[in-house]
Amino acid sequence: TAGAGRSEAAGDEVEGKKAEQTQQKAQEKNVQTAAKPKIDESVMAHVRSIEHQNAVKRFGAGPHRIMFSLEVPSSYYPDVQNPAGHQRGLRKRFYVETVPLNLMPHAVSAFLDIIDRGLYNGVQFNVVTKDGNPAVDFGHKLVPAAGNQ
Task: State whether residue 16 is helix, strand or coil.
Answer: helix
CB 127 within 8 A of CB 140: yes
Contacts (Cβ under 8 Å, ≥6 apart) of 107: 99
What is the per-residue pLDDT across 83-137, written as a single tens digit (0 to 9) for each? 555 556 667 788 889 999 999 999 999 999 999 999 888 887 766 667 766 555 4
| Pairwise CA distance, residues 119 & 127, whole Å | 19
The residue type found at 7 is S
What is the per-residue pLDDT across 26-70, written as a single tens digit (0 to 9) for each? 666 665 555 566 678 888 888 899 999 999 999 999 899 998 887
Say if pTM beats, i.e. exceeds, 0.75.
Answer: no
| Pairwise CA distance, residues 149 & 144, whole Å | 6
